[in-house]
Amino acid sequence: MKFDAIIIGTGQAGPSLAASMAKNDWKVAIIEKGNLGGTCVNVGCTPTKAYVASARRAYIAKNSAELGIEVNGDIKVNLKTIKERKDKMITDSRNGLEKMLENNKNIQLIRGKASFLNKHAVEVEGTTYEADKIYINVGGKPRIPDGFNEVDYLTNESILELEEIPEHLIIVGGGYIGLEFGQMFRRFGSKVTMLDRGDQLLKKEDSEFGKTIEEIFKDEGIDVRLNSECISAKNKEGKIEVSVSCEGDKLNIQGSHLLVAAGRIPNTSNMGLENTDVSLDDRGYIKVNDQLQTSVSNIWALGDCNGKGAFTHTAFNDFQIVNSHLFEDKKRKLSDRFTCYAAFIDPPLARVGLNAKEIQKAGIKAKVASRPMEKIARAKEMGETLGMLKIYIEENTKKILGATFLGTGADEYIHTVIDQMYAGQQFTVIRDAVHIHPTVSELIPTMLENPKSIEE
């Protein structure tokens, strides 16, 4: 069966690309071996942020006395109800996507696992499909380190199927997935122990942010153990026992459940790429150029499998890049993109561009503008004063190099800085802007009035 294009995977990039191709009268095959929607819809953004919202409601209900709100009686968290709400949101998204794909006369939805026969053909359930152009959008999956073969561990996917709150949840990994689930289940009522091999949480961030998040978590009753090495687990007396060397001490920690949140790997194995000349890096990610083209000229890789973002918004931008070279006058490039993301803990951490340690490593002469949340009027009025704001400015060009915000609403007002960076203007444009009072955002111009040397 011959098509103008084959798309493998229905994550954030694939269906959008299929719809655009169909609009331009291409005949498209889109292949999916699992549930429609990819990580974001099924086990990522949609379900986890629904759980985060429930966890915050529980936290507010239990911690509003200082603001004069007294709740009489117990606060009960019903995980089964939370799961049912999540499941409905996922089902609605899947059904909408299925309807869009199946009702388009130019798109054929094919169910099953795709395997490359050569650079122009794939096989699905014994049937061969051919196309001049093939687009890989296969996403990623949890990475499971050695040492966990003997226990029934949870991943970010399977933990969303629980209907009873864990008595004691042990989490291996201090990245954004581990942090979100750790705080979430602590607020649901679980005892939570977090183990991470590094010397700070969120190892990619500047140490002061990792330290502040650690303090926030400890204040909520989460047991954070850093410098945890040689982690392994086994079943013991009806519980899961995790053995860990932590700052020189050998510990055995028993819990009812174990979540392994030790990063993710691409879904690029066992799909026949050895039958093409598509090049992978040493971690299994597909190598791409500035237009997301692989080492084979008629094959492209979009989304998590190319290692260039691993977020829903970067996957969608991958679609925009590829689509622009197919159908638009203005051509987009991967190098146009500023790295940006958030950890949806409470308060959230949001980041764009470079941070202090990256600037110093690159030898860039820069200044930093900062403000603690405890000095922002709106944060004090809301009773949410944890965190800090930092913006980094290149001295020579006066352009913004990046920003890291940790504080209430940070995942929203970071876009003030993101938009300024894309505009390519000097930081003085924001500094001289008039923002609405009372907001957290209004302090961004104020903090930019007197940036200091990053070494100070």
Q: Which residues are catalytic?
A: 437
User: C-alpha 404: how far from its chain's center?
Assistant: 16
Structure tokens at 213: 């998040």
**Taking the alpha carbons of 260, 262, 264, 268 in that order, is the dihedral positive or negative?**
negative
> SS3 of 99, please?
helix
Contacts of 135 (CB under 8 A, 6+ apart): 5, 6, 7, 8, 13, 14, 17, 299, 300, 301, 302, 322
Is the peptide bond between 266 and the residue preceding it cis, with omega within 30 degrees of 0? no
Residue 303 neighbours by CB under 8 Å, 6+ apart? 9, 11, 12, 13, 14, 38, 137, 138, 139, 309, 314, 315, 318
Give the three-class secondary structure for 179.
helix
Residue of 153, 137, 165 whose CA lies nearest to 262:
153
**Please, what is the Cα angle at 304 between 301 and 305, to 5 degrees?**
50
Q: Cα–Cα distance between 200 and 304 in angstroms, integer?
A: 25
Beta bridge partners of 246: 228, 249
Instruction: Determine how many CB atoms are found less than 10 A away from the CB of residue 323.
Output: 18
Contact 132, 6 (CB under 8 A): no
Tokens of 327: 């159908």
Q: Pull the structure tokens for residue 177.
A: 């997935």
